[in-house]
Structure 1
Amino acid sequence: MTRAADNPIRVMVVDDSAVVRQVVTGLLQAAPDIEVMAAVSDPVLAIERLKTAWPDVIVLDVEMPRMDGITFLRMIMSQRPTPVVICSTLTEKGAKTTLEAMSAGAVAIVTKPKLGLKQFLQDASDELVSTVRAAARANVRRLAPGSGAAPVVASAKHTADAILPAATRAMTTTTERVVALGTSTGGTQALEEVLTALPRVSPGIVIVQHMPEKFTAAFAARLDTLCHITVKEAEHNDRVVPGRALIAPGGRHMLLKRSGAQYHVEVVDGPLVNRHRPSVDVLFRSVAKSAGANALGVIMTGMGDDGAAGLLEMRNQGARTLAQDEESCVVFGMPKEAIKRGGAERVVALSGIASEIQRQLL
């Protein structure tokens, strides 16, 4: 639910590009429930404006003169935690920098190209507005240093039918176990907490975290340095084995496949599903088809409903299914919808998910 026009979401835009400031301000101001209270060229000017008024959401560039966005973000999160949306250039170098911003507590990412910027921002107006609205509702208390979140992507809404048909029969139970995790806004924080708590001997894990291309490789590499298990961006035909987590690459769908007693992943192109690529519903449906009762499905913090239908399909095929509880979510949208549809067998706190994963080995 959005706010009334007489109580709008107050936004500050901080970007050294005059074009970005102008276009972003115009797009946000066109929404009846959003008011841009300030648009400034760097964090130093933003700090001056914050002395007189504080926004509900800050839209922030990363690379700027006088003070970089990450330093400013850390200052904000330490003094007065506020939802921050990073507006970042979609490059490999930019991905690593943006991950630092996510680690410092950013709520979401909106990516922007180096060329055709004005037209891109206009085309992505729905994404920008929905991201700001989601940020305004975010539980920033969950975004302590070391946290982060995911982008919201807007487009035509397809279901998982666009990629693969639903399962028609349950898979035979075997000793091989698979854990499927799906998450979005707030998910980088949640995944870090879960994966770093796992010992080296853990079930094979497949993950969809809503994130743009070029960002998932850097994200997986960062987690790999922090975790006892191996974490990598998935490649086509990668094996799903104990002690390894595979993260779907941004911009492509990931499916679980079974060959004999072994599991592997397929990385495929295709339309956006639930406005996302990769889509949690696509992964969960493939797990329902290929693993059935051999799987555990977990839907975690995120905006929207991606994964809710797939989690129910997993449960109907005999898998155990969990949803993260509201208190520990940054945004409760995805788990809430999964619970509403009956896909979640149980609701658990973020702190309990790692132990649930370990139980898969019993």
Structure 2
Amino acid sequence: MYTVLVIDDSPSMRRIIKDMINSIDEFEVVCVATDAYDAREKIKEYEPDLVTIDINMPKMDGVTFLRNLMRLHPMPAVVISGEGVRGNDIFDDGAVGFIPKPENGETMQSFQERIKDTLLNLTFLLKRYTLKKPQASRKTSTQSLNIEYKIHPDEVIPLKAATFPGMKLIAIGSSTGGVESLLRVFKRLPGNLPPILITQHIPYGFSSSFAQRLNDHSEVEVCEAKDGMILEKGHGYLAPGNMHLTIEKFGNEYKTKLLDTKKVSQHKPSVDVLFRSVNNTVGSAAMAVMMTGMGDDGTIAMKELFDNGAYTVAQNEESCVVFGMPMKAIQAGAVKDIIHLDEIADYIIEFSKGKKR
């Protein structure tokens, strides 16, 4: 059963859409919202698998809300609106479906069939999104959650820091606000850089499309990482939304290795796991970049990289959406340089040329 939040300012339309969705066997509307601000609180409370969004809403229009949702909490979203002229645009903003509201005498039965067809055609994506979605009950105590969240990277990858540097490599970690921030960085990168590994906290089902967005807007060839890929110059590898991304050395080559293990530092994929793996294989030849994000994922392993002589930088508070992850790394003494978002690409380029050592 897939849970749905319906967002629409019209009481009658909320009721109609809710009843139509509830009539589909695999779907259940768990709550409704009258505007974007109401929806924000309902998403936090109910954690739905899917949201439907109207475009014409008070306080904040649906397109702005959709963009904010994809930036801060990416999840499957279907636009149900009378604004048919926006149908193609909303896919660029992150929607996975568009259903025009009835017009020109269309019957409610026809409208219901269109809703049913659209949602059933999205079940493949929803299965991917919910497959690795945390299943803990909302009534689960904070104490029991902390038991899982406090797993140390040693339980996944023991520290075996590389004594001798390997090939140059760039590793990037980000979370809240990272989707748009990474796009800004990659737009400025040339295609002749050392391999780039990225762990962005993103739901499973969205990492593939996000990797494609990065690829489309950069000279770097970006893909969602698969197990056993040989790292190549000019390429970027994004961690899948349900696996830890690591690397291993095979002879003179380095390959990706995906781990389906526990969450580390509250996340899977985890920045700590990526940075620990980079330290173990590449060591002081690496550059680690900590970008916007909530929490402290990556701090432990970034300090290990720093102590091993790797070049470490963190995004400054001014340019972060959330200054949690960079702040924790800075407080831990794991960062050499603190820089603005718009400087990150330049620092990566300079590192690749040996100018930031």
> Above 0.5 in TM-score?
yes
Q: What residue number does 1:194 align with?
A: 185
Mapped partners of 1:283, 1:99: distance in 2 = 30
1:328 CA drift (Å)? 0.5
Q: What residue number does 2:335 align with?
A: 344
1:179 CA drift (Å)? 0.2
2:66 aligned with 1:73: no
For residue 302 of structure 2, the aligned residue among 275, 292, 311 is 311
Mapped partners of 2:263, 2:134: distance in 1 = 19
Q: Is the 8 A contact 2:7 2:51 kept in 1?
A: no
- For 1:276, what is the secondary structure of its paired residue? coil
For residue 205 of structure 1, the aligned residue among 196, 203, 208 is 196
Cα 1:59/1:245, change in 2 over 3 Å? farther
Q: What residue number does 1:163 align with?
A: 156
Q: Is the 8 A contact 2:70 2:94 kept in 1?
A: no
Cα 1:354/1:215, change in 2 over 3 Å? same
2:21 aligned with 1:46: no
1:214 CA drift (Å)? 1.4
Mapped partners of 1:206, 1:276: distance in 2 = 17
- For 1:251, what is the secondary structure of its paired residue? coil
Mapped partners of 2:155, 2:77: distance in 1 = 26
For residue 276 of structure 1, the aligned residue among 267, 275, 292 is 267
2:198 aligned with 1:185: no
RMSD: 4.0
- Structure 1 letter corresponding to 2:52: M
Q: Is the 8 A contact 1:307 1:338 kept in 2?
A: yes
1:57 CA drift (Å)? 4.5
- Structure 2 letter corresponding to 1:171: T
Mapped partners of 1:247, 1:163: distance in 2 = 19
2:171 aligned with 1:172: no
Mapped partners of 2:235, 2:74: distance in 1 = 32
- 1:151-204 C-alpha deviation (Å, 9 max, x unpaired): xx998211212211012x443235x21000000000111111111110111121
Q: Is the 8 A contact 2:71 2:176 kept in 1?
A: no
1:241 CA drift (Å)? 1.5
- Structure 2 letter corresponding to 1:164: I
2:205 aligned with 1:214: yes
- For 2:265, what is the secondary structure of its paired residue? coil
- For 1:254, what is the secondary structure of its paired residue? strand
Cα 1:335/1:236, change in 2 over 3 Å? same
- For 1:281, what is the secondary structure of its paired residue? helix
- 1:49-75 C-alpha deviation (Å, 9 max, x unpaired): xxxxx6694656865376499x94324
Cα 1:205/1:90, change in 2 over 3 Å? same
1:264 CA drift (Å)? 1.6
Q: What residue number does 1:149 align with?
A: none
2:349 aligned with 1:358: yes
TM superposition score normalised by structure 1: 0.66
Cα 1:126/1:345, change in 2 over 3 Å? farther
Q: What residue number does 2:138 align with?
A: 125
Cα 1:98/1:122, change in 2 over 3 Å? farther
Q: What residue number does 1:240 align with?
A: 231
Q: Is the 8 A contact 1:178 1:291 kept in 2?
A: yes
- 1:14-68 C-alpha deviation (Å, 9 max, x unpaired): 37658999866xxxxxxxxxxxxxx53xxxx538xxxxxx669465686537649
- 1:268-298 C-alpha deviation (Å, 9 max, x unpaired): 2101111111100000001111001110001
- For 1:221, what is the secondary structure of its paired residue? helix
- Structure 2 letter corresponding to 1:172: F
- 1:229-262 C-alpha deviation (Å, 9 max, x unpaired): 1000001111222100000111111112122332
Q: Is the 8 A contact 2:199 2:239 kept in 1?
A: yes
Q: Is the 8 A contact 2:292 2:324 kept in 1?
A: yes
Q: How does 1:85-96 map to 2 (within 5 A)?
A: 88-89=75-76
Q: Is the 8 A contact 1:292 1:318 kept in 2?
A: yes
Aligned sequence identity (%)? 31
Q: What residue number does 2:87 align with?
A: none
Q: How does 1:128-167 map to 2 (within 5 A)?
A: 156-157=148-149, 158-167=151-160
Cα 1:75/1:185, change in 2 over 3 Å? closer
For residue 14 of structure 1, the aligned residue among 1, 7, 10 is 7
For residue 223 of structure 1, the aligned residue among 214, 219, 234 is 214
1:355 CA drift (Å)? 1.0
Unmatched runs of 5 consecutive residues or more in structure 2: 9-13, 79-89, 96-124
- Structure 2 letter corresponding to 1:238: M
TM superposition score normalised by structure 2: 0.67
